[in-house]
Chain A
Amino acid sequence: MALQPCTETPDKTINNDLHPQASEKTPVQGVATQDFPVLKERGQREVFCGLTGIVWLHRKMQDAFFLVVGSRTCAHLIQSAAGVMIFAEPRFGTAVLGERDLAGLADANDELERVVAQLLSRRPDIKTLFLVGSCPSEVIKLDLAKAAEKLNHRYFPGVRVLNYSGSGIETTFTEGEDACLASMVPVLPEKETEAPALMVVGSLADVVEDQFKRLFDQMGIGPVSFFPPRRASSLPSVGKGTKLLIAQPFLSGTARLLMARGAELLPSPYPFGIEGTTTWLKTAAEAWGIDADVFDQAIAPAVARATTGLEHYKQVLNGRKAFLFPDSQLEIPLARFLSRECGMELIEVGTPYIDRLLMDAEIALLPKGTALSEGQDVEKQLDRCREARPDITVCGLGLANPLEAEGLSTKWSIELVFSPLHGYDQTADLAELFVRSTERRRRLSV
């Protein structure tokens, strides 16, 4: 499923005719994006492909296995990213295409069946198997959807086989999670009643899930389900009455597919920082018609804690300049947090894609005139960054050490995806990430 960058797609597709009601509601905070000149660049992109999503998804869903169908490059990517951990039982692998597979497509399916049989006999504990498409498998048009269907005939219900594409040509980094979750949407059980139910969409750290669950419980919002679940075999149900609260901004495809199954999107900024978290929770509270007093009472202790925790970092970050390279689509929400809650000045906010359906509520909160960029020409962007000499540069690991060596403080962006940073009690941790490298520089004297 190829996701197109929405700015290059006509408006009709942005709001998608999947759910007309939602599209009417979409521009929550007024038409925001017009106020922001977006620099669209094309050139070398220094980003991960969607396969990288496996690195955290395999921990989130422990009964799942991710089998990439691709080349040695794909295998090398994942092990370079995750292989520093020593696995007694790897939870991902690659079916590496050889010359024989490229010569004729006819037996590729037999080959895949053989590999899957080999894998499942070694790992009888696997409950869900994801066949993950890659650039090579997409370019030679290997039909993994069909292969998954066929394998399901053989292994279901013992093992469910799903497929999605994590290829670099179609997905950038976190879009791999989007594609993975989207592949699970069709197999989510149908909701039995039309009673309202909340679904929180996007991988969250277990501790964060529990915090949100407690807050929803206190307000009387429920039932609440989290998607993806901790075990891929215990899927939440979806249907009319399901209200979607999106926790990660990169879930364009998943959100649309859930809407196609009758769920209603609750557009909101994302739960980063105090403001983001409050607005996000408020969105759900309003949908449930929760009394303002009840809401305020429920969040008050957490807000107070977060405010205290943030205070110190706020002082450090206030007035400092930030430059964000495109990586995960978390850039805009993070920039909003850095500018509104930490007082930082935004030099450039780069992001791989801007999906208005999921991002308008965030963009509306950015300071007017913020330089947004979509896509990348990394050399030119580096020139702009060097020119501006930001106090903190958020970038990928391919750029971080080289920029540090040039004297710039960096925050490597992948950590923003790997760490528990959503919600009130993580607000200070989130701010701390942007302080740490400067603080290190201050401490180190050699």
Chain B
Amino acid sequence: MELTLWTYEGPPHVGAMRVATSMEGVHYVLHAPQGDTYADLLFTMIERRDRRPPVSYTTFQARDLGGDTAEMVKTSVREAYERFKPQVMLVGESCTAELIQDQPGSLAKSMNLPIPVVSLDLPAYSKKENWGASETLYHLVRSLLLPHVLAPGSKRPARDLEMRPKANIIGPTALGFRCRDDIQEVLKLLAEIGVEANVIAPLGATPDDLMRIPDADFNICLYPEIAQTTCDWLKRSFDQPIVTTVPIGVGATRDFIAEIGEVAGIDVSRALARSKADTLGNWNAARLSSSAAPGASRLPWYSRSVDSTYLTGKRVFIFGDATHAIAAARIATEELGFTLVGIGTYSRKFARQIREVAKQHGLEAVISDDYLAVETAVAEAAPELVLGTQMERHIAKRLGIPCAVISTPIHVQDVPARYSPQMGWEGANVIFDDWVHPLMMGLEEHLIGMFREDFEFAEGHMSHLHTAPHAAPLQSAGSPIVASGSEMAASAALNSESKPMAAASEDAAEANGKINGDTETGAASWSPDGIAELKKIPFFVRGKVKRNTEKFASDRGITAITVDTLYEAKAAIGQ
């Protein structure tokens, strides 16, 4: 049993639903209790789809358990086939159905429907959503293409050099992070280097489309969490090489283009050169007036412009699925000049890659799907910005840290109407805006550091966001210093909505003291002047300064932390 306040992934059958809903001509019969139809809302509400997902549920109830639940499966399969006339049927079970073991897949296969029936075996108590999606896609592709697999040892015929190379884009799904717009952005990149898109799957594909997968010269594994297994199988079965770079970030997009150049045997140097040359030309007439030449990314120039200098060394914590976390780490450090102070993923399958990235930055990766473990890691790292999932927004709110979402799980606001890819050149533009937005703007940061008694622009206030001031960073780590009354009052006065939050953070301080503080608190205590001085540190680095000072004190056996201790620690350790 595992205490889960928030879960990073749904159960595996939700992954299967994501594949079924992505496609057309596929229907999924799910053996599940009444109530599991909540998952329809993920698609109709979060993704705002205008059709019901192609999923029929058996929705058994307690009174059915004594009877023939297997018969319910057959009825559902029969009715779903007759009503929806799909080209392929997926049959599987949810967690509760797994316990009653009706074997719905085999049952459905025994019914001799005139269409392929793919039986899904998704262990709900050990596996999760992305695995479910990956397995479903793999079994679907495999069932359809198995008869056409190349004979062992045979090679693909060489590409006709007169023809443009063709690529499949594998991995985008319903409820994926910005998949809808990423596809468009990747198509633009491919068009620029003269590569034709063959099949995009599963998002928007039909079973017939899947049959055309072998026609392509190579596969682009766009979302490894979903596509890796399928791409590996296609490589073995159809000798299709895999493009593994995920084009999120300017550097990664350049590498992506270069890798395609290598895999497809084409010259991509012009596109690469343009991506570097074009960044300064944001305002030139040719670019403004031409719709023909899509611009390269603005991120490189925006990030170099002096307004971004204050971003240098901002401490950032990254968490998400492995693909987005790895991409984010590179962008944060190489393209925005942040300092990585923590990185982790809930995608255990890709733990090794994340550990490598962490090692490069002298960090220990957080490989966990335990929300509380992530929360503890964030509190300990005391970052100035969290790049994470919807769940890290809860953590960031508790700790009072700015946050941007870079990965699933997401909620409705991260399926926006506007064009907002993460991939390619435009994706980098979107990322620049979204990640910088939650941070305090430069001027305000300076002024709040200088003048601390302003009645309007108080501690932690970010006037460009209307956010309530937040007292938590002072308390987020180590010994429980509770915010002074006046600080709380100031918060409350500024924004009446902040009241519950301030109260919550007070609890948080106590709770944190319990979670991670006790190891340190015995060592040194803060003198009143020490605390007063600590409060003069800008709030977003205060957590780190406090932690460093306490460590400095305990290393040297100092029991009472004074103003001097604080500055000695600062001199010795730096900020």
Interfacial residues, chain A to chain B (CB-CB below 8 A): 2, 4, 44-52, 69, 71-73, 75-77, 79-81, 83-84, 86-90, 92-99, 101-102, 108, 111-112, 114-115, 118-119, 121-125, 135-136, 138-140, 167-170, 172, 379, 397-402, 404-405
Q: Are B124 and A96 in contact (CB under 8 A)?
A: no
**Which 4 A-B pairs have CB atoms at the shortest separation, nearest pair first?**
A168-B35, A49-B35, A398-B40, A405-B50
Which of B56-64, B144-152, B252-260, B336-344 lies at the interface with chain A?
Answer: B56-64
Q: Are A139 and B65 in contact (CB under 8 A)?
A: yes
Min CB–CB distance B356 → chain A (angstroms): 28
A124's partner among B124, B125, B510 (CB-CB below 8 A) is B510
Q: Are A49 and B65 in contact (CB under 8 A)?
A: no
Q: Are A86 and B38 in contact (CB under 8 A)?
A: no
| Known contacts A98-B125, A124-B510; A86/B393 CB under 8 A | yes
Closest residue to A81 on the B side, CB-wise?
B38
Closest residue to A95 on the B side, CB-wise?
B1
Q: Complex: how many Å from CA A96 to CA B5? A: 10
Q: Which of B21-42 contact A (CB under 8 A)?
A: 33-42
Q: Complex: how many Å from CA A102 to CA B99? A: 9
Min CB–CB distance B89 → chain A (angstroms): 16
B10's partner among A76, A81, A114 (CB-CB below 8 A) is A76
Q: Is B6 an interface residue (CB 8 A)?
A: yes
Q: Is B568 an interface residue (CB 8 A)?
A: no
Q: Are A402 and B1 in contact (CB under 8 A)?
A: no
Name the A residues within 8 Å of B63 (CB-CB). Answer: 4
Q: Is B515 an interface residue (CB 8 A)?
A: yes
Name the B residues within 8 Å of A97 (CB-CB). Answer: 1, 125
| Known contacts A88-B398, A402-B51; A44/B35 CB under 8 A | no
Closest residue to A377 on the B side, CB-wise?
B79
Q: Are B397 and A86 in contact (CB under 8 A)?
A: yes
Name the B residues within 8 Å of A402 (CB-CB). Answer: 44, 49-52
Q: Are A75 and B7 in contact (CB under 8 A)?
A: yes
| Known contacts A44-B76, A139-B65, A405-B50; A84/B33 CB under 8 A | no
Instruction: Give 14 A-B pairs besides A75-B7, A98-B2 with Cβ atoms closer than 8 angstroms.
Output: A45-B37, A47-B35, A47-B37, A72-B128, A76-B14, A79-B7, A88-B398, A90-B394, A102-B99, A122-B372, A123-B507, A136-B96, A168-B59, A169-B64
Min CB–CB distance A99 → chain B (angstroms): 5
Q: Are B124 and A72 in contact (CB under 8 A)?
A: yes
Q: Is B300 an interface residue (CB 8 A)?
A: no
A125's partner among B10, B14, B507 (CB-CB below 8 A) is B507
Q: Are B4 and A75 in contact (CB under 8 A)?
A: yes
Name the A residues within 8 Å of B480 (CB-CB). Answer: none
Min CB–CB distance A250 → chain B (angstroms): 15
Q: Are A83 and B390 in contact (CB under 8 A)?
A: yes
| Known contacts A83-B390, A89-B504, A398-B52; A96/B34 CB under 8 A | no
Q: Are A88 and B7 in contact (CB under 8 A)?
A: no
Q: Is B137 an interface residue (CB 8 A)?
A: no
Q: Are A169 and B1 in contact (CB under 8 A)?
A: no
Q: Complex: how many Å from CA A99 to CA B4? A: 16
Q: Complex: how many Å from CA A136 to CA B124? A: 11
Q: Complex: how many Å from CA A108 to CA B45? A: 36
Q: Are B35 and A77 in contact (CB under 8 A)?
A: yes
Closest residue to B61 on the A side, CB-wise?
A169
Name the B residues within 8 Å of A112 (CB-CB). Answer: 1
Q: Complex: how many Å from CA A75 to CA B371? A: 12
Q: Are B1 and A80 in contact (CB under 8 A)?
A: no
| Known contacts A44-B58, A90-B6, A93-B4; A398/B44 CB under 8 A | yes
Name the B residues within 8 Å of A108 (CB-CB). Answer: 1
| Known contacts A122-B511, A169-B60; A72/B95 CB under 8 A | yes
Q: Are B126 and A95 in contact (CB under 8 A)?
A: no
Q: Are A399 and B52 in contact (CB under 8 A)?
A: yes
Q: Are B33 and A72 in contact (CB under 8 A)?
A: no
Q: Are B397 and A49 in contact (CB under 8 A)?
A: no
Q: Are A95 and B2 in contact (CB under 8 A)?
A: yes
Q: Complex: how many Å from CA A196 to CA B351? A: 65
**Can you name 17 A-B pairs with beta carbons within 8 Å?**
A4-B63, A72-B124, A77-B35, A83-B6, A88-B508, A90-B394, A92-B5, A95-B4, A97-B125, A112-B1, A118-B3, A168-B33, A168-B61, A170-B62, A172-B34, A401-B49, A402-B51
| B 508-522 to A, binary, CB cutoff 8 A, 1 in contact else 0 | 101100110000000
A401's partner among B6, B44, B94 (CB-CB below 8 A) is B44
Q: Complex: how many Å from CA A86 to CA B62? A: 34
Q: Complex: how many Å from CA A402 to CA B60? A: 24
Name the A residues within 8 Å of B394 (CB-CB). Answer: 86-88, 90
Q: Is B412 an interface residue (CB 8 A)?
A: yes
Q: Are A379 and B83 in contact (CB under 8 A)?
A: yes
Min CB–CB distance B488 → chain A (angstroms): 15
Most buried by B among A108, A379, A400: A379
Q: Is B195 an interface residue (CB 8 A)?
A: no
Q: Which of B359-383 contact A (CB under 8 A)?
A: 372
Q: Complex: how many Å from CA A400 to CA B61? A: 24
Most buried by A among B10, B49, B61, B124: B61
Q: Are B511 and A123 in contact (CB under 8 A)?
A: yes
Most buried by B among A69, A76, A404, A405: A76
Name the B residues within 8 Å of A99 (CB-CB). Answer: 123, 125-126
Q: Is B159 an interface residue (CB 8 A)?
A: no
Closest residue to B6 on the A side, CB-wise?
A79
Q: Are B508 and A89 in contact (CB under 8 A)?
A: yes
Q: Complex: how many Å from CA A397 to CA B47? A: 12
Q: Are B4 and A94 in contact (CB under 8 A)?
A: yes
Q: Complex: how many Å from CA A397 to CA B40? A: 8
| Known contacts A73-B124, A122-B511, A401-B45; A96/B7 CB under 8 A | yes
Name the A residues within 8 Å of B76 (CB-CB). Answer: 44
Q: Are A73 and B1 in contact (CB under 8 A)?
A: no
Name the A residues within 8 Å of B1 (CB-CB). Answer: 69, 95-98, 101, 108, 111-112, 114-115
| B 388-415 to A, binary, CB cutoff 8 A, 1 in contact else 0 | 0010011001100000000001011100
B35's partner among A4, A48, A86, A88 (CB-CB below 8 A) is A48
Min CB–CB distance A380 → chain B (angstroms): 10
Q: Which of B100-140 contact A (CB under 8 A)?
A: 100, 123-126, 128
Q: Complex: how many Å from CA A63 to CA B418? A: 40
A136's partner among B5, B79, B95 (CB-CB below 8 A) is B95
Min CB–CB distance B141 → chain A (angstroms): 25
Q: Are A95 and B99 in contact (CB under 8 A)?
A: no
| Known contacts A72-B9, A114-B1, A400-B44; A140/B35 CB under 8 A | no
Name the B residues within 8 Å of A405 (CB-CB). Answer: 50-51
Name the B residues within 8 Å of A135 (CB-CB). Answer: 33, 35, 95-96
Q: Is B505 an interface residue (CB 8 A)?
A: yes
Min CB–CB distance B443 → chain A (angstroms): 27
B95's partner among A71, A79, A114, A170 (CB-CB below 8 A) is A71
Q: Are A168 and B36 in contact (CB under 8 A)?
A: yes
Q: Complex: how many Å from CA A125 to CA B511? A: 10
Name the A residues within 8 Å of B44 (CB-CB). Answer: 397-402
Q: Are A140 and B11 in contact (CB under 8 A)?
A: no
Min CB–CB distance B81 → chain A (angstroms): 13
